[in-house]
Structure 1
Amino acid sequence: MSILNTYANLNPEQRRSLGFLLGVGLLFWISITTLLPTLPTYIKSLGGTRSQIGLVMGSFAIGLLCSRTLLGYLADTKSRKLVLCIGIIVAGLAPLGYLLIQSVFPLIGVRAVHGISIAAFTTAYSALVVDISPIKQRGELIGYMSLVTPIGMSIGPALGGFLQEFWGYTALFIASASFGFLGLLLVNFIQDTSPINYQSTSETKGRIRNFKQMISSHSLVIPALILLMIGLLFGTLITFLPLFLQENNLGFSAGLFYTVAAVGSFSSRVFAGPASDRYGRGPLITVSLLCYFVSMILLTQATGSKQILLAGIFEGIGAGTLIPMIIALISDRSSSYERGRVYSVCLGGFDIGIALAGPVVGSLGSDLSYQTIFTINSSLALAAFFLFISQSNYNFKTSLSFALGREKDLYAFDD
């Protein structure tokens, strides 16, 4: 198997660090995803309206937005492991906040703090994987190491729904916190990439862009805008899909949807990473955006479990391909000295999307049907698709060629 051959060809230190990093990632994502199908219904059980549910769920991204830049700076100049630990500790503490605070509006603060965990973990985890991986196998190892997300999502939502149904919300939140703290035990076994004193070396001259240069760089702005649209889509989905399934009695639970999506995500990540190293990131991103579009169209037409099942599979394939491929793309387009901050800028687009989705759509209340909400999502996916095939490189011609795998990424760095 390719994955075993790739792992065997790494040196012992790389194998050990990536192995323990994989374990940390799995525990982290189980902790996070146990709450995906259950938190909206928990807020509803406290008396929250659709608008309030959207506000609480969307506030998750406030922590993401406020902390991304600082955490990216710390990851570049201090320690990737430090930022990783911050993410895991917050993931362990936040569920205890949900348990102790049982009124709607204070949960906004808890949910915002919880968002810091995603900002810290995803920035440090991605940077560590890229730092440890050989350049020629970067896409492949990013794909393999990102498998922790679908595996966690195949376990977490189902486990969360089970715990909530049979033991209640107290057991659910304690379990979520426990998985977070267990991950902290494994961090010490991971190789810490040395802080990069970029100011003192001539080698780094011209390889580090400041924040203004990053947000004005076409090579980074387009991935950020695509993630913004998909963030809007994803934020709307996680906020309203559980309510949609609960209120329409379609015979399909939110936990099962996420489990099915995780299966699709797992399958796509196994093949996407190696394929991207061979054929380029472009074709994989193109296909992923089309999968998002198909998934949302299926949800607009859903009248039974069959459409929900297919929507979950396509959503999983879309997410499982897009996120690691965008990370690989922006890794190609940045130097190791600035990578943490580049992640903070580009992934910040995803954060903003999630932040806006719940409150904006939720504020419309009952004015929008669930079918209309999912139609908006399909439009976002389609807009992201057209943006990518037309603007992902220097001009329309090179962008289309890159998106179809006919030309290499002209923005990629040499190292």
Structure 2
Amino acid sequence: MKLLKTLSPKLQHDLLVLFAAGLLFWSGLAALLPTLPLYIQDAGGTSQDIGIVMGAFAVGLLASRPSLATLADRRGRKIVLLIGIAAVAIAPLGYLLTDSIPLLIAIRAFHGISISAFALAYTALVVDLSPVEHRGELIGYMSLVNPLGLALGPAMGGFLQEWVGYEPMFLAAAALGGLGWICTARIQEPESVHPLDPSSAQPSGQFWQMLGSPRIRIPATVLLLIGLAFGTLSTFVPLFIKEVGVNLNVGLFYTAAAIASFGIRIVAGRASDRYGRGPFITLSLVFYTTAMMLLWQANSAASFLLAGAIQGAGSGTLIPMISALMADRSHANERGKVFGLCMVGFDVGIAIAGPIAGAIATQTGYKNVFGLTAGLAFLSLIVFLTLSSKSLGHSFQFATGRGEDVYAIK
């Protein structure tokens, strides 16, 4: 935390306002995690319906990703932040007004614009403001909004739904988004942080072509596999706990994940500036694999909470480290597109996880679904260890902290 004291007062203020906006964003978004699947079920939805509705989030995310990434590079980060936080404020009101499955699919797709916009622009702006030699550390500190929001939001949403029902819960989530929009509107993006002249930006048609670059392709593949695991977890953990018959408030599962995510981010970012991003990405994938295996065998409140904590440690390491890795591998005027493209893998994973896992769960139950996700997480570890650099040897050395990132821009 000593790093923050070395920054100018204005920069400290801007980062504080940005942090508050991020915290409200993730709290409002995460408030629906333990409750929306149950809401869909109570509306008469089947397991497959629940998977389709929840997966539609990533459809909106994917559809808006190219244009929003380009907008962030051409027009600056703030306008994209405002778009994202507006979606978080509006979507809960849409859920409140209908229990029609087709309409819920459409609203969920609109909701997906939120992460596509806010998370991308938030990370890009943090990197823009970060001293290069302390990039990982500052990303780690500023990314704490994610675990804090994932601790506060689900706990609030779960308890409100249990105590007073769905309507107050949806209204509270919308209110958090509205407060976040007010904070975001106060962010002053320095002129020096704005991208280069719009005419210098790449045409939007080249967005997808960049995905073939080796600096982006393998991180995106890793995130695809983890996105499949995370999409299954975020959609079906509430229903799995209910199926097993464990007496556990689902919000506490996400709280356990958030606490672990918070703790590991404080140390991982700073350490990665010294030891490299590779070993921490590897560690995160080990955490994910272990968490999915524990969920596969979970049959008590303690086992679910332990799995949640380990998954939180994996998530709290992986996303900030991938963000820092992509910052290392990109120029400032392409950063929005590079971040956006890399996260496409995660988006696709979430998009297809719900329908696929829902179809499997209908036939075999939720338990076997988590056995499958354990295999996917382990596959992501193998991919990173063997393909993250220009050769097998370089990949293993980079992934274990014994070699440099050959794709980093000096």
Given the two structures, how large is their TM-score scaled by the length of structure 1? 0.95
Map 1:238-253 → 2, pairs under 5 A:
238-253=234-249
Q: Which residue of 2 aligns with 1:160?
A: 157
1:318 alignment partner AA = G
Q: Which residue of 2 aligns with 1:222?
A: 218
1:258 alignment partner AA = Y
Aligned-pair CA distance for 1:189: 3.1
Q: Which residue of 2 aligns with 1:387?
A: 383
Q: Which residue of 2 aligns with 1:147?
A: 144
2:315 alignment partner AA = A
SS at match of 1:102: coil
* In the alignment, structure 1 residue 102 sits paired with structure 2 residue 99: yes
2:26 alignment partner AA = W
Aligned-pair CA distance for 1:247: 1.9
Contact 2:58 2:109 in 1 (8 A): yes
2:238 alignment partner AA = P
* In the alignment, structure 1 residue 138 sits paired with structure 2 residue 139: no
1:287 alignment partner AA = L
| Cα distance in 1, alignment partners of residues 67 and 359 from structure 2 | 30
| Cα distance in 1, alignment partners of residues 248 and 290 from structure 2 | 19
- 1:312-365 CA distances to partner (integer Å, 9 max, x unpaired)? 111000000000000110111010010001111111110000000001121234
- 1:36-86 CA distances to partner (integer Å, 9 max, x unpaired)? 000000000101110101110000101100001100000000120000000
SS at match of 1:337: helix
1:116 alignment partner AA = I
Distance 1:11 1:173, change over 3 A: same
Of 66, 69, 73, the residue aligned with 2:66 is 69
| Cα distance in 1, alignment partners of residues 362 and 170 from structure 2 | 30
Contact 1:246 1:253 in 2 (8 A): no
Further displaced range: 244-253 or 184-193: 184-193
Q: Which residue of 2 aligns with 1:408?
A: 404
| Cα distance in 2, alignment partners of residues 199 and 49 from structure 1 | 47
Unaligned runs of 5+ in 2: none
Of 334, 358, 361, the residue aligned with 2:354 is 358
SS at match of 1:179: helix
SS at match of 1:150: helix
Q: Which residue of 2 aligns with 1:307?
A: 303
Of 342, 345, 349, the residue aligned with 1:346 is 342
Aligned-pair CA distance for 1:197: 3.4
SS at match of 1:338: helix
Map 1:190-339 → 2, pairs under 5 A:
190-194=187-191, 195-198=194-197, 210-339=206-335
| Cα distance in 2, alignment partners of residues 247 and 319 from structure 1 | 25
SS at match of 1:373: helix
- 1:81-132 CA distances to partner (integer Å, 9 max, x unpaired)? 0000000111100000000112222100000000001100011100110011
1:35 alignment partner AA = L
| Cα distance in 1, alignment partners of residues 327 and 78 from structure 2 | 18
Contact 1:68 1:119 in 2 (8 A): yes
Q: Indicate the percent of aligned positions where both proteins have the same amino acid.
A: 50
Aligned-pair CA distance for 1:182: 0.1
Aligned-pair CA distance for 1:300: 1.2
| Cα distance in 2, alignment partners of residues 212 and 50 from structure 1 | 33
| Cα distance in 2, alignment partners of residues 252 and 120 from structure 1 | 33
| Cα distance in 2, alignment partners of residues 362 and 200 from structure 1 | 45
Distance 1:209 1:6, change over 3 A: farther
Further displaced range: 361-370 or 68-77: 361-370
Contact 1:289 1:382 in 2 (8 A): yes
Contact 1:209 1:338 in 2 (8 A): no
SS at match of 2:333: coil
The number of aligned residues is 407
Q: Which residue of 2 aligns with 1:370?
A: 366
Contact 2:75 2:198 in 1 (8 A): no
2:148 alignment partner AA = I
Unaligned runs of 5+ in 1: none
Aligned-pair CA distance for 1:212: 4.7
Aligned-pair CA distance for 1:20: 0.6
Contact 1:228 1:350 in 2 (8 A): yes
Q: Which residue of 2 aligns with 1:39?
A: 36
Of 78, 81, 85, the residue aligned with 1:84 is 81
Contact 1:80 1:193 in 2 (8 A): no
Q: Which residue of 2 aligns with 1:189?
A: 186
Contact 1:131 1:193 in 2 (8 A): no
Aligned-pair CA distance for 1:196: 2.4
Contact 1:229 1:381 in 2 (8 A): yes
SS at match of 1:364: helix
Q: Which residue of 1 aligns with 2:113?
A: 116
C-alpha RMSD of the superposition: 1.6
SS at match of 1:250: coil
2:291 alignment partner AA = S
Map 1:167-186 → 2, pairs under 5 A:
167-186=164-183
Further displaced range: 386-395 or 248-257: 248-257
Q: Which residue of 1 aligns with 2:54?
A: 57
Given the two structures, how large is their TM-score scaled by the length of structure 2? 0.96
Aligned-pair CA distance for 1:368: 2.3
| Cα distance in 2, alignment partners of residues 64 and 209 from structure 1 | 18
Contact 1:301 1:371 in 2 (8 A): yes
Aligned-pair CA distance for 1:401: 0.6
1:65 alignment partner AA = L
Distance 1:212 1:366, change over 3 A: closer
Contact 1:245 1:253 in 2 (8 A): no
